Structure 1
Amino acid sequence: MKQEPVLKVTAYLTAVREGEQALLVFEEEDFEHLGLQVPGGTVMAGESLEDALLREIREEAGIEQAVIRAYLGEHSYVSEKLGCELTRHYYWLEATELVPGRFTHVVTSDDEDNGWIYHYRWIPFADSPPVLYGQLGQYLVKLRELHISASS
Structure 2
Amino acid sequence: MVEKVLAYIISIRNNTYQMLVHEHKDMPEAGLQVPGGTVDPGEDLVVALQREVFEESGLHDLSASELVASAPFLHPEKQELQLRHFYLIQTKQQLPGTWDHHVFGKGVDNGLVFRYTWYDFTSIPPLAASQDQFLHLVRKIIQAHPRS
Give the TM-score of the pair, scaled to structure 2.
0.92
Letter in 2 for 1:38: V
Residue identity matched to 1:51: V
**Correspondence for 1:123 among 89, 94, 119:** 119
Q: Indicate conservation of the 8 Å contact 2:10/2:20, yes or no.
A: yes
Verify the 8 A CA contact 1:10 1:38 in the aligned structure 2. yes
Higher alpha-carbon deviation: 95-104 or 22-31: 95-104
Runs of 4+ aligned structure 1 residues displaced above 4 Å come to none
Deviation at 1:82, TM superposition (A): 2.7
* Alignment match of 1:12 (pick from 2, 8, 25): 8
Give the Cα separation in 1 of the matches to 2:75 and 2:65. 28
Preserved CA contact (<8 Å) 1:66 1:96: no
Query: Which whole-Å CA distance do the structure 1 matches of 2:61 and 2:14 have between them?
Result: 20
Q: What 5-or-longer segments of structure 2 have no aligned partner? A: none
Q: Partner residue of 1:133?
A: 128
Paired position in structure 1 for 2:68: 72
**Displacement of 1:10:** 0.6
Residue 49 (structure 1) shift:
0.7
Aligned-pair identity in percent equals: 33
Does the CA-based 8 Å contact 1:102-1:120 persist in structure 2?
yes
1:112: Cα distance to partner?
1.4
Q: Is the 8 A contact 1:77 1:87 kept in 2?
A: yes
Cα RMSD for the two superposed structures = 1.5
Give the letter for the 1:151 counterpart: P
